[in-house]
A and B are shown apart, each in its own frame.
Chain A
């Protein structure tokens, strides 16, 4: 990386952190720290909500997803606008009316303190681990590609976030997220323009989409009811709504964003803004991935986009075999380029069809070579992660973009990592301070609680960095965190839905139901782990949500009107 890239990267990050610090030095109390003094406008909230959800992995992984599997992933977000409307209509008015600092405080008002504490603890467990992964996931990719030290990268991202989150609280998170989203949007738009510029002169956007479409990358909508296909219109609308409802409605890292609104209407409009922009934003990021695919139809690409894998296999006894595969791949690439240009020139549909089939056959051969390459990598190191989806876009950035833009795009990735981590640490600190400490140790001064909230934010920041640093010790930790999230998420959503919509469920019933259900969901997971039953972990969300409501209804039936 050139010194100009380093300067741009350093200046962007330093500006964001210093601006956040300068604007939010004085905090008068817990309210100011946790809800930002309720000063945020709708567009600040909207950007903050979007920045919280869009982690670094979104910008590294999503283009790679489109590169391999096309645009179909956009369907995953179809349920999000529905969830935004429902949360604006039902969740936000209640949170605002009760003037709660955290989502879980509402559960005390509706049920009892035990239910509040239980759900807060569930949140802390799953989000505490997730915060570490939000730092670790981009670090592992950047360290592999750039050769930076993984531990120092974790410490750098984590420390930058901790500095302004501990000092400025929610307002600092909101302010910095505005700058971060500016960098992210600007950087991604420039990458899009550069990609178009890098394509051969004969290939404009229309031609690029035609090429991508011919290779099945533009199959955006799938209306089938195929359960083997993860992303369909129906799974997006139904499953996506549930997931978004649970994440945006009950996860404190998101709830805290819109609780900082100046008025109820500003909070609602912030969510609506997210509902309007999220789908086109994801479409745009996927489109960049599709253009990267088209770019590599005319330019050489590695057999595996993860440079660590390539280095490792070249140092192993399998190097000669890998080189042979690489030469075969280069031969295929040359043929693909020639045929792609011919495809664009030909007018006759029948001839076009023939050419398209030939190109598809060559691309399939290329995929087989990549598969063989992965097998060699695994033979050289059985623990190697051969899936290179996350490395496609960063490889393009580092090898193709001009000096200066590389620094800016790295700033995009680090900004995204920081924006999500900041919201998570901010929410973890607030939940620990408000729902656990302040609730169970009342009677201290506002200054004391502010200090404690800052301490907890700092402690969670350190925990997140430690989780990120120890993550390589565990196999497939990202999946582990998703599993832990799925174990708790459904249960928490079920408790909130019961609170909002089923009036005769009372505190004692829901508390016991949540406890019993958590045991039930963990049992299901263990049964699946030991292959007694077959249950993909994503279904734990749905089962957990429905089961806690059913158990609460049964307990309530035996309880009668007592609560």
Chain B
């Protein structure tokens, strides 16, 4: 399974995993609900920065295109 860490506790881990699976399946609606309220944890700027930076790249390409392009 996916969460085993201790060879001495394999059976326990199996049981825990089984419980984990059940609980996760039970909690699935909660997991899905979280998509509507994404937790940016105070660093949403980094996501805007990566998109903004790429927008700048495209503007730069547009400028190079205008300068040297032939279309």
Q: Which A residues touch B64, using CB under 8 A?
A: 209, 218, 220
| A contact set with B: CB distance below 8 Å | 29-31, 74, 78, 81-82, 84-85, 88-90, 93-94, 98-102, 105, 108-110, 209-210, 212-216, 218-222, 265, 269, 272, 275-276, 279-280, 283, 434, 438-439, 442-447, 449, 500-501, 503
Q: Which residue of B lies closest to A439 (CB)?
A: B1
Alpha-carbon separation in the docked complex, A218 to B14 (Å): 59
Q: List 11 A-B contacts (CB under 8 A).
A: A29-B4, A29-B7, A74-B61, A81-B53, A109-B20, A214-B70, A216-B70, A272-B50, A276-B54, A438-B4, A446-B4
Q: Which of the residues A29, A31, A500 comes within 8 Å of B32, measured between beta carbons?
A: A500
B2 contacts A81, C-beta separation under 8 Å: no
The reply to whether A110 and B25 form a contact with Cβ atoms under 8 Å apart is: yes
In angstroms, Cα B6 to Cα A31, docked, is 10
* B contact residues, range: 35 or more
Given contacts A109-B21, A213-B69, is CB(A220)–CB(B61) below 8 Å? yes
In the complex the two chains form, is A110's CB within 8 Å of B28's CB?
yes
- Give which listed residue, A81, A98, A105, A214, contacts B54 with CB less than 8 A: A81
Cβ contact within 8 Å between A269 and B46: yes
Type the 1/0 row for B2-23, where 1 means its CB is closer than 8 Å to any CB of A.
1111110011001000001100
- Report B's interface with A, CB cutoff 8 A: 1-7, 10-11, 14, 20-21, 24-25, 28-29, 31-35, 38-41, 43, 46-47, 49-51, 53-54, 57-58, 61-62, 64-65, 67-71
Chain A min CB distance to B2 (Å): 4
List B contacts of A98 (CB < 8 A).
2, 20, 24
B54 and A275 contact, CB distance less than 8 A = yes
Residues of A within 8 A of B5 (CB): 29, 31, 446
A213-B68, A213-B69 known; A503 vs B2 contact (CB < 8 Å)? no
Q: Are B50 and A84 in contact (CB under 8 A)?
A: yes
Residue with the greatest number of chain B CB neighbours at <10 A, chosen from A81, A99, A216: A81
B2 in contact with A222 (CB, 8 Å): no
Please name all residues of chain B whose beta carbon is closer than 8 Å to the beta carbon of A82 when the two chains form the complex.
Answer: 51
- Across the interface, which residues of A come within 8 angstroms of B41, CB to CB? 265
